[in-house]
Amino acid sequence: MDPILDKARAAQNALERLMNSVPGFKGYRERDLRRDADRLQREHISKRLEDGKKALNQVAAALTRGGDLDVINDVETARKRIDKVANRIRYAERGYSGFFDAVKVDETVLAKVYAFDMGLVEDVDGVRAAAAAAAPPADPRAAVQDLIGRIDALDARLSERENVLRGIK
């Protein structure tokens, strides 16, 4: 179901596989693997989003060289929003519950969250494509406004993810 979690399970050494056979320990170990997979997935998504800022740097440089300083504020707004959303992804609520957590995350909810996170990859790729499309000879103002709209939509999806984890419909 989750390729990162499956890779983590497959990479277990002999000692870890032996420990999984100890009654009660396998569940603990599975939660630990899920935590690591969740962290790696969110880190990967946030890095991909931050890579979109490279295209914005090129847009800003071209605008500065061309003397079109009116759009620079929009480019800076887009950069700040990318940073904000990347940090929201990186430090998002975990898609698992700890052993002693008061609120347990149901497995069906967890499956929804993982599917949601995989959908975020497509949204992040859309943001990256919009950032690249803002490069000259495109109309920079319209392209950057489109980019900001995509970033805001991604931010709203992150709020939906939080609501799924909290059980809010």
CB 112 within 8 A of CB 164: yes
d(CA 57, CA 120): 23
Residue 22 Cα distances to 30, 41, 144, angstroms? 13, 28, 55
What separation in angstroms does the CA of 90 have from each of 11, 78, 93, 120, 127? 24, 18, 9, 12, 16
pLDDT in tens, 16-43: 666 656 666 566 666 677 777 778 888 9
125 and 55 in contact (C-beta within 8 Å)? no
pLDDT one-digit tens code per residue, 45-96: 999 999 888 888 888 888 888 887 788 899 999 999 999 999 999 988 765 5
What is the percent of the chain where pLDDT is above 90?
26
Question: What contacts 151, CB < 8 A, 6 or more positions away?
Answer: 78, 81, 82, 85, 127
What is this structure's pTM?
A: 0.75
